[in-house]
Amino acid sequence: MGENFRKGQCENFKKGCDAAMDRMSTPSLFRRPDLQVYCYDADCLSGKTIAIGDALHAQISQDGNTAYLSKGCETVAIIEGDGVTQLRDAMKDSDCPDFTEVKVISACEISESITVQATI
Protein backbone atom coordinates (compact mmCIF):
# COMPACT_ATOMS: atom_id res chain seq x y z
CA MET A 1 0.00 0.00 0.00
CA GLY A 2 2.88 2.41 0.70
CA GLU A 3 4.42 1.86 -2.72
CA ASN A 4 1.15 2.68 -4.52
CA PHE A 5 0.87 5.91 -2.55
CA ARG A 6 4.45 6.94 -3.48
CA LYS A 7 3.88 6.03 -7.09
CA GLY A 8 0.75 8.21 -7.18
CA GLN A 9 2.65 11.11 -5.58
CA CYS A 10 5.43 10.83 -8.19
CA GLU A 11 2.92 10.85 -11.04
CA ASN A 12 1.12 13.87 -9.58
CA PHE A 13 4.46 15.64 -9.14
CA LYS A 14 5.35 15.05 -12.81
CA LYS A 15 1.93 16.35 -13.90
CA GLY A 16 2.38 19.43 -11.70
CA CYS A 17 5.84 20.08 -13.16
CA ASP A 18 4.52 19.74 -16.71
CA ALA A 19 1.66 22.14 -15.96
CA ALA A 20 4.08 24.65 -14.38
CA MET A 21 6.38 24.46 -17.41
CA ASP A 22 3.42 25.09 -19.71
CA ARG A 23 2.40 28.15 -17.66
CA MET A 24 5.97 29.50 -17.68
CA SER A 25 6.43 29.04 -21.42
CA THR A 26 3.19 30.72 -22.47
CA PRO A 27 3.53 34.48 -22.95
CA SER A 28 1.48 36.36 -20.41
CA LEU A 29 2.60 39.94 -20.92
CA PHE A 30 0.88 42.40 -23.21
CA ARG A 31 2.88 44.32 -25.76
CA ARG A 32 2.83 48.07 -25.28
CA PRO A 33 3.88 49.78 -28.53
CA ASP A 34 3.47 53.20 -26.89
CA LEU A 35 6.37 52.49 -24.47
CA GLN A 36 9.96 52.71 -25.67
CA VAL A 37 13.03 51.33 -23.88
CA TYR A 38 16.20 53.43 -23.99
CA CYS A 39 19.66 52.70 -22.55
CA TYR A 40 22.16 55.36 -21.49
CA ASP A 41 25.71 55.32 -20.13
CA ALA A 42 26.34 57.37 -17.00
CA ASP A 43 29.36 58.23 -14.86
CA CYS A 44 29.16 57.69 -11.10
CA LEU A 45 30.17 60.52 -8.84
CA SER A 46 33.19 59.78 -6.63
CA GLY A 47 32.40 57.88 -3.49
CA LYS A 48 28.88 56.86 -4.57
CA THR A 49 27.96 53.20 -4.83
CA ILE A 50 25.26 52.00 -7.17
CA ALA A 51 24.12 48.39 -7.56
CA ILE A 52 22.45 46.66 -10.48
CA GLY A 53 18.68 46.89 -10.10
CA ASP A 54 18.69 50.24 -8.29
CA ALA A 55 15.93 52.64 -9.34
CA LEU A 56 17.16 56.20 -9.91
CA HIS A 57 15.43 59.42 -10.88
CA ALA A 58 16.76 61.27 -13.93
CA GLN A 59 16.37 65.03 -14.26
CA ILE A 60 17.78 67.29 -16.97
CA SER A 61 19.77 70.34 -15.85
CA GLN A 62 18.59 73.88 -16.58
CA ASP A 63 21.05 74.36 -19.45
CA GLY A 64 20.19 70.92 -20.91
CA ASN A 65 23.79 69.66 -21.09
CA THR A 66 23.69 67.27 -18.14
CA ALA A 67 21.24 64.78 -16.69
CA TYR A 68 21.48 64.13 -12.96
CA LEU A 69 20.64 60.69 -11.62
CA SER A 70 19.64 60.65 -7.98
CA LYS A 71 18.88 58.02 -5.40
CA GLY A 72 16.44 59.64 -3.02
CA CYS A 73 17.59 63.22 -2.62
CA GLU A 74 21.29 62.48 -3.27
CA THR A 75 22.83 62.83 -6.75
CA VAL A 76 24.87 59.69 -7.51
CA ALA A 77 25.62 59.85 -11.25
CA ILE A 78 25.47 62.08 -14.32
CA ILE A 79 24.81 61.60 -18.01
CA GLU A 80 26.59 63.89 -20.47
CA GLY A 81 27.06 64.17 -24.23
CA ASP A 82 24.81 62.47 -26.77
CA GLY A 83 23.06 60.45 -24.06
CA VAL A 84 21.60 63.55 -22.41
CA THR A 85 20.36 64.84 -25.78
CA GLN A 86 18.58 61.56 -26.48
CA LEU A 87 17.16 61.43 -22.96
CA ARG A 88 15.92 65.03 -23.17
CA ASP A 89 14.19 64.34 -26.50
CA ALA A 90 12.57 61.16 -25.16
CA MET A 91 11.40 62.89 -21.99
CA LYS A 92 9.98 65.81 -23.97
CA ASP A 93 7.42 63.50 -25.60
CA SER A 94 6.49 61.68 -22.37
CA ASP A 95 3.69 62.34 -19.90
CA CYS A 96 6.12 63.82 -17.33
CA PRO A 97 8.81 65.86 -19.14
CA ASP A 98 10.51 67.06 -15.94
CA PHE A 99 11.94 63.75 -14.70
CA THR A 100 11.78 60.02 -15.30
CA GLU A 101 12.71 56.86 -13.46
CA VAL A 102 15.59 54.76 -14.74
CA LYS A 103 16.87 51.37 -13.66
CA VAL A 104 20.54 50.36 -13.41
CA ILE A 105 21.16 47.37 -15.69
CA SER A 106 24.97 47.16 -15.50
CA ALA A 107 27.71 48.64 -13.35
CA CYS A 108 31.50 48.70 -13.71
CA GLU A 109 33.43 49.37 -10.52
CA ILE A 110 36.75 49.89 -12.31
CA SER A 111 35.65 52.72 -14.60
CA GLU A 112 32.91 53.91 -12.20
CA SER A 113 30.35 53.86 -15.00
CA ILE A 114 26.86 52.42 -15.17
CA THR A 115 24.27 51.72 -17.83
CA VAL A 116 20.71 52.72 -17.06
CA GLN A 117 17.48 51.80 -18.81
CA ALA A 118 14.53 54.15 -19.13
CA THR A 119 11.05 53.12 -20.21
CA ILE A 120 9.35 56.20 -21.61
pLDDT of amino acid 29: 64
Integer Rg of the chain from CA: 23
pLDDT of amino acid 32: 66
pLDDT of amino acid 30: 67
pLDDT of amino acid 102: 92
Q: How does pLDDT run across 10-44, given as a tens digit for each residue?
A: 777 777 767 777 776 666 566 666 677 889 999 99
Cα 76 to Cα 106: distance, rounded to the nearest angstrom: 15
pLDDT of amino acid 43: 93
* Residue 1 confidence (pLDDT) above 60: no
Give the pLDDT band of residue 90 (cuts 50, 70, 90). Answer: confident
pLDDT of amino acid 19: 74
User: pTM here?
Assistant: 0.68
